[in-house]
Amino acid sequence: MSFTDIYGHENKIDILRKTLIQKRIGHAYLFSGIAAIGKKALALELIKAINCENVDTLHDACGTCASCRKIQHASHPDVFFVEANGQFIRIDSIRQMQERTQCKPLEAKRRAFIIDDADKMNEQSANALLKMLEEPSLVNIIILVTSRPYSLPQTIVSRCQHVRFNPLNTETVAGFLVAEKGIDQQKALLLAALSGGSIGQALDLDKEDTVTYRAELLNLLSTTRRQDPFSLINFASFLGQKKKEIGQGLKILNSFFRDALIFKEVGNADMLINQDHIKYISTCAGGLSGEQILQNIEQIEKAGDILAQNVNKSLTLETMAFKLNYSESQISEAKRAEI
């Protein structure tokens, strides 16, 4: 791999290339952004470019020299990965880092440490790392990778060059899935829309057969009635108890009502995520007002925010189900037509 193999982070790559060209590489970086967006992959490519034996005029790693190959296969004697042992990154791991920085690198131009899920450092670990950051070395580089930068002590954040990774747009994620994984265009667009801007998440969703799950969820939605409490509770129960499963279901619901709103306003099926459910979407758009659809999207997003606070899952989902607006008879007619 090289910088050119990283999808959708051109601005971040340009910034890092300029530091390589100007030979102003920092001693510590903080790569933050949503999970599975490419932070660790780009950190690895930066380390490869710094230590490449044949780095080109674009300051990109060649990928073929001994240094590049060793780093890619996690066998380089001067590149270390620090990860959580159980729930935390413990102080012993940081102390090992400290010991290794006391001598010159064996092969590399810059010895590198990539701390994955850096927010998992306990207080002792964070204090030990802070001491290292306060006494930087020209032959060492530390890259912290996290999806929760707000959980890190501000004293650590302030001593790192902070590179923030934004979620990728739907077209970029879908383009990767089509070009690199051979996934059908329509399915790729769906996975991309549900991924939250993360290629890694999109790939996980593909493994979990999201398309089938979505069909079951939308079919259940079509039979849910506000005046039938049992159907509302059944609908909420279907969303499950596992955080990952619930999050996936809420994203599907959000994408469905987003489609209904777009179809209601512009009537263009080409702009829809769930194009294979066009009949259901069109009848929902006809049976609900724009305000009601917006209220549904708001309720779904509110449920997601509440669930992130580790509250009662069943109660939160049931409350959402009871507050959603349902297009009663028209949706039933649409589902019968699809059958």
Q: What is the pLDDT of residues 230-253, one digit of tens each?
A: 999 999 999 986 777 898 899 899
Q: Which regions of the chain carry the CATH code 1.20.272?
A: 208-338
Q: Give one DSSP letter per residue of 183-249, joined into a string.
A: --HHHHHHHHHHTTS-HHHHHHHHHTTHHHHHHHHHHHHHT--TT-HHHHHHHHHHT-SSHHHHHHH
For the structural domain made of 208-338, what CATH number should be given? Answer: 1.20.272
As a dihedral over the C-alpha atoms of residue 143, residue 3, residue 33, residue 185, rounded to 10 degrees, the angle is -150
Identity of the amino acid at 297: I
What percent of the chain is predicted at pLDDT more than 70?
95
CATH architecture, domain defined by 3-164: 3-Layer(aba) Sandwich (3.40)
Is a pLDDT exceeding 50 seen at residue 337?
Answer: no
Query: pLDDT, tens digit, for every residue of 28-46?
Result: 999 999 988 999 999 999 9
Residue 333 phi, psi dihedral angles, 5° rounding = -65, -40
Identity of the amino acid at 244: K
Sheet containing strand 79-82, edge to edge, reads 79-82, 111-116, 140-146, 28-32, 161-164
Average of per-residue pLDDT across 188-196 = 85
CB atoms within 10 A of CB 23: 7
Is a pLDDT exceeding 60 seen at residue 184?
Answer: yes
Identity of the amino acid at 314: S
pLDDT value of position 56: 65
CA distance 70 to 321: 53
pLDDT value of position 331: 43
Cβ atoms 135, 142 nearer than 8 A: no
Q: Which residues contact 155 (CB under 8 A, 6 or more apart)?
A: 130
Q: Which regions of the chain carry the CATH code 3.40.50.300?
A: 3-164
